[in-house]
Amino acid sequence: MRAIHSAGLCVGDISTKDVFLDNELLVMVLPRVQYNAVKPQSSDLLLPSPTTAFLRFPDPLRATVLNCKRDFSLWEKEELKKVSLGDLVEAWCMGRLSNLDYLLALNFMAGRRWGDGRYHPVVPWVSDLSSPTGQLRDLTKTKFRLNKGDKQLDLTYECLREANERPDEKGQQPPHHVTECLSEITYYVYKARRMPPKVLTKHVRTQWVPDEYPSSVQRMYSWTPDECIPEFYTEPEIFKMILTNSMTHANNARQQQQQQHGGCQMKQHSGFVPLLRPERGELPSALKSGNP
C-alpha cells in the first residue's frame, strides 16, 4: 500500500478483500469506485428526467433509456450531452448499465454515428467462434494484432517514423502502432447481406462477386483485422440477405455448386447464431468486465 501511495496512486477506501494476487504474482487492486468517484460539479448534475433517470436508479429503467437500438440516435445529440462521463462510468461500474450500452455511449460521445461507414459505432468481438458455444477471444490484444501479429504493427511504426524524418513530411503524422478499429470497407463487408450490389461495388469492389464475400461468421472473424459492429449483437435481420434478381441468380448458382461438391459449405447464416443468443446480447457483463 505504501508503494502504491508513493507512486501517486490513490485507491481510496479499500481493504484486504479488494486486493488480488494471481498465479504470476501480479497484484490487482479493485477499489470500490462508488465510494471514491470524483463528485460531479454543479454544472454536471443531471436533471431528473426519463432519459437520465437510469443514472440514479437501478434496472429496469436502464433498459428503456440507454439501449442499443437505432432509436438511441433520436435523443443522443441532445440528451447524451447532459450526461457527464463520470456519471456514465459510475453507472457502468455499479451494474446499472450493460457493457454494450456503455460502449455505445462512449462511441456516440466520440462522435461515431449510425450508418456512417467511416465513423460507425464499433464494439469488440467477444468470441473467436471456434465452437458452437464460442471461445472467448483475447481482449488484451486488438483484433488487428491477433490477425496481423506484432511484426505488422512494428512495420507500421517504422514506416511512419521513416516518413516523418523526411523534410517534406516532418511532423505531419507522428509514428504509432495504433490502427483503425473499423475501416470503411470492413463496415460494408459486414453489412453486405443488407446492401444492394451498387453500394458494394462503390465501396468494396468494382465488380460484384458474391463468392468473394465471407460465407459464414467464422470466415468473417478470421478474415477481418477489425473489430465488430453493434448490429451483430442486436439485429438478427442483418444476416438475412436482400435478394435482388442478380442476387437470386448468384445464390441459386452457389447452391448448385455446393451440391455438386458434397455440400461442404455451412448453411447460410447458421454461422451467425452464436452472436445472437440472449446471453451474448449485451456482451457477457460479469465475465467480460473482469477481462482487462
> pLDDT for 73-97, tens place per residue?
444 555 666 677 787 788 788 877 7
Q: Give the mean pLDDT of 253-273.
A: 42
Q: Over the chain, what is the mean pLDDT?
A: 67
- The last residue of one of the domains, among 111, 129, 159, is 111
Confidence band for 170, pLDDT divided at 50, 70 and 90: low
From 71, 87, 111, give the residue that closes a domain: 111
Name the residue with cell 491477433. 146
For the question of whether the overall pTM of this predicted structure is more than 0.85, the answer is no
Spell out the residues 6+ positions from residue 165 whose beta carbon is closer than 8 angstroms to its own. none
HEC profile for 20-49?
A: EECCCCCEEECCCHHHHCCCCCHHHCCCCC
In terms of pLDDT, which residue wins out, 15 or 123? 123
Residues 177 and 260 in one domain: yes
Question: Is residue 242 a contact partner of residue 251, using CB atoms and an 8 Å limit?
Answer: no
Comparing 103 with 163, the larger pLDDT belongs to: 103
CA atoms within 13 A on the CB side of 190: 26
Q: Are residues 178 and 239 in the same domain?
A: yes
d(CA 272, CA 132): 10
Nearest to 126 by CA among 228, 234, 272: 228
Residue 262's domain comprises 143-280
Residue 106 has pLDDT above 60, yes or no: yes
- Would 241 be classed as within a structural domain? yes
- Residues 260 and 160 reside in one and the same domain: yes
User: What pLDDT does residue 49 have?
Assistant: 35
> Are 214 and 148 found together in one domain?
yes
Q: Is residue 128 part of a domain?
A: no
The pLDDT value recorded for residue 192 is 85
Which comes out higher in pLDDT, residue 33 or 44?
33
Would residue 288 count as lying in a domain? no
Note the Cα 114 to chain centre separation in Å. Answer: 13
Q: Which amino acid does the sequence have at 96?
A: R
Q: What's the pLDDT score for residue 156?
A: 76
Q: Are residues 275 and 211 in the same domain?
A: yes
Residue 291 belongs to some domain of the structure:
no
Residue ending a domain, among 111, 132, 164, is 111
Residues 161 and 194 in one domain: yes
For residue 118, being part of any structural domain is answered with no
Same domain, 63 and 169: no
Residue range 247-256, pLDDT digits in tens: 445 555 555 5
Do 103 and 182 share a domain, yes or no? no
With a cut of 50, say whether residue 243 has pLDDT above it. Answer: yes
Q: Is residue 135 part of a domain?
A: no
Domain co-membership, 46 together with 29: no
Q: How many separate domains does the chain show?
A: 3
Q: Judge whether residue 230 has pLDDT over 60.
A: yes
The residue to which cell 517504422 is assigned: 158
Residues 191 and 77 in one domain: no
Which residue type occupies 75? W
Q: Is residue 123 part of a domain?
A: no
pLDDT value, residue 132: 65
Are 106 and 184 members of one domain?
no
Q: State the pLDDT at residue 216.
A: 79
Does the structure show a pLDDT above 50 at 266?
A: no
58, 178: one domain? no
Q: CA 98 to CA 102: how far, in whole Å?
A: 6
Confirm whether 126 is domain-assigned: no
Residue type, 262: G
Q: Give the pLDDT mean for 251-271.
A: 43
Go through 195-223 and write b for each residue having 16 or more CB atoms within 10 A of its CB, e for each that does not.
Answer: bebeebeeebeeebebeebbbbbbebbee
